[in-house]
Structure 1
C-alpha cells in the first residue's frame, strides 16, 4: 500500500499505461543489489531510488576521492575520504525516504558473495575490474539471479542482461579475462559516459522488475559517445549442456584458430583479407597484420573491404571479432570468419 505522499511522488510514471499502479507496486516490493557505488553505481542508485525501488543494497569498500568527482556526481568535495556505500545510502535516503537502504562497506569477495546476493532478487554489476565481474556472474548463476552488467572506458560503454531465465551469462561473452586490462584510471573516461550507461542499466532494471518492454537479456549493447553509434549484438551461449540454449538469441559464427589462419596465409595470401576490429591504440600496441577497422566503424567502411575474399576478423579475445562477423553477414558477399583468441 502507498501513502498519499508516495502516490504524488510517483504520479508521472504511474500514469504510464505500461507501468501503472501495478508496476509501481512491483517496484516497491523489489530488492536490488548494486555492486559498486562509483561511476556506474551513482546514476543507477539515484534513478532506482527515485523510481521507488523498495529495497536497495549497496556494496563498495572504496572511499570518495577527488578524481572521482568529475563523473560520480552523487558525491561532492566534502565527502572525500568517506565510505562510498555509506555516503550513498545517506544521500539517497534524503532523495527518497520511502526506500530501505543497506550499505556494505566491504569488498565483494568469495566469502561474502553468496550470503549478500541471496537477499536480493536482482543484481546490478557496476564494478570496475574483471575479478569482481566474474565473481558476480558466477554467484548469480549459482543462485539463479538475473544480472545487469555495465562497463565503461574512455568514450565507450557496454550494457547487457545476463542469466535471465537461464540465458547467456558473462562467461559466454568473455570466457576468460583479457591478458591486458586497461581501466579508467589508466585509459581515462569522459565524465558523462557513466551517466549514459548507468541510466540504461537502471532502465533495464525497471523493465525487468515491472515485466514491461524489451530487455537486453541475451544481448550486448555497445555505445560510443564520441561518434554517437549504438550497436546491439546477440550473445551465443556456450554452455549448452548446463543451460538450455535459446534459439532466438544464438547464431552460429564461423571461427578459425591461428594455425588455420597461418596455413591459409601461406597457401593463398591473396585470397585472405585480415581485419583487426579493435581500436587503433590496441592495433598499434600489438597486432598480427591486416587492416585496422574498428568494430564501431565496420558497417560504414564496407567499401574498403574487397569483395570475394575470405575475410578474417580478429581482436584480442575473439569476442569483438564474433560481433564483427554478425555485422558483415548479409552485407558482405563472401566468406567471413572470426579468429579465436590468438594471444
Structure 2
C-alpha cells in the first residue's frame, strides 16, 4: 500500500534512533519513514543491479523486500555483485542475499522466491507487492514483468546496463508511460547481456538510481522522472534525461523469415541501411557485408541522430545487434526521436 494510513503505523524508539539521520530530511520526516516501513517491494533478479538496491532499501527500513531469482552465485559474479563473497559460491543468490541483508537490518522481512519469474507465476507473486523493480538481463522476462504490472496496475522501476552505459525509467506511474513506449514487448528472443563485459561500477550506479527513485515514490516525493528515461554514459560522464511520449512504437521486431528477406533485399537495394552496433575492434573482427558501424556511444551524439533523420524517409533502417541491452538502449533513443527502424540479428 503506497498511501497507508500513517496514523496506524508505529515507529519504535529503536526505529527513531536507527533512522534518525534520514528522518530529519525534510522530504522524509516521520511520515515518510512510516511509509517506508509499510512498503512491500519486489526485486526481480539478484545480480549486479539488484545488490545495491537490496542493500540500500534494507538499510533504509523497508518493511518487506521480496527477491526472486533461481541462479546460484558464481565466481564471475563477484566483481559486481558485492553482496556476495566466496563463501556463497554455488549457493542460491536469494538465500545468500537473505543472510547478508539480515546482517544489515534484521527488522526488514526478506521474502525469497527461489525460482524464475514466468507467465505462470507472475500474477501470484507480483500482486502482493507495491513496487516492482526490474534488474533482469533478458527481454523475455521483461515482457512478463511489463504485461503483469500493466494488468495489476503495479509501478514498474526499470533498469538495464551494458559495459559503461545504462538506462532506467519508471512505468505505470500515475498514468504515465509504459514499457512498450520505450521498447516493444513483442521481441522473441532469450539472449541476455551475459555475453557482454560489465563493470560493477556501472551496475552499482544504475542500481542506486533505481533505489533512489523507488524511495521517492514511496515517500510521495514529486516524481520528476515520470515519462522520461535516464540515459547514462559513464565512461564519458554524460547523463541525459529524455522525454518519452505515449505514442505508436517506431520499432519493428522481425521474424527469422523476415530477417532472411531483409538480408536478401539488402544486397540489391541501396535504400536499405544496415547498421551494426559494435565497437571498432568488434566490427573489424566480424561484420555483415555492406553494413556500416555505429558504436553505442555514438547514438548519444547529435550528429548521429541528424544523420539517421536525414535518411529515414528515403531509406529503411535496420539495426543489427546480437546484444539485447545494446539494442534496447539504441532502440529507445531512436524511438525518442521518432526514427522508424527494425531490429535484426
Normalised by the length of structure 2, the TM-score is 0.77
Provide the secondary structure at the position in 1 that maps to 2:200.
coil
Provide the secondary structure at the position in 1 that maps to 2:47.
coil
Distance 1:298 1:137 in 2: 26
Q: State the number of aligned residues.
A: 311
Match of 2:196 among 187, 194, 197: 187
Check the 8 A contact 1:253/1:322 in 2, yes or no.
no
Residue 334 of structure 1 is matched in structure 2 by: none
Q: Map 1:184-263; keep pairs closer than 5 Å.
A: 184=194, 186-238=195-247
Q: Map 1:2-21; keep pairs closer than 5 Å.
A: 2-21=11-30
1:217 CA displacement: 2.8
Match of 2:319 among 306, 315, 324: 315
Check the 8 A contact 2:38/2:63 in 1, yes or no.
yes
Provide the secondary structure at the position in 2 that maps to 1:164.
coil
Distance 1:114 1:299 in 2: 37
Deviations 1:132-180 (A, max 9, x none): 1111111111111000111122221121111113332222222133769
Provide the secondary structure at the position in 2 that maps to 1:61.
coil
Match of 2:124 among 115, 120, 132: 115
Check the 8 A contact 1:10/1:51 in 2, yes or no.
yes
Deviations 1:21-43 (A, max 9, x none): 11111101111011111111111
Check the 8 A contact 2:132/2:154 in 1, yes or no.
yes
1:315 CA displacement: 3.3
1:237 CA displacement: 2.4
Distance 1:304 1:65 in 2: 40
1:289 CA displacement: 5.7
- Higher RCO, 1 or 2 (CA under 8 Å, sep at least 6)? 2
Residue 340 of structure 2 is matched in structure 1 by: 339
Residue 324 of structure 2 is matched in structure 1 by: none
CA shift in 2, pair 1:6/1:325, >3 Å: closer
Deviations 1:241-273 (A, max 9, x none): xxxxxxxxxxx9899xx9xx99xx86xx8xx9x
Distance 1:304 1:133 in 2: 27
CA shift in 2, pair 1:215/1:83, >3 Å: farther
1:192 CA displacement: 1.5
Between 71-80 and 169-178, the greater mean CA deviation after superposition: 169-178
Q: Map 1:271-290; keep pairs closer than 5 Å.
A: 276=275, 278-280=277-279
1:65 CA displacement: 1.2
Q: Map 1:292-303; keep pairs closer than 5 Å.
A: 292-294=293-295, 296-297=297-298, 300=301, 302=303
Residue 331 of structure 1 is matched in structure 2 by: none
Query: What 5-or-longer segments of structure 1 have no aligned partner?
Result: 240-251, 328-336
Distance 1:39 1:235 in 2: 26
Distance 2:340 2:189 in 1: 16
CA shift in 2, pair 1:305/1:162, >3 Å: closer
Check the 8 A contact 1:157/1:197 in 2, yes or no.
yes
Normalised by the length of structure 1, the TM-score is 0.78
CA shift in 2, pair 1:65/1:320, >3 Å: closer
Residue 87 of structure 1 is matched in structure 2 by: 96
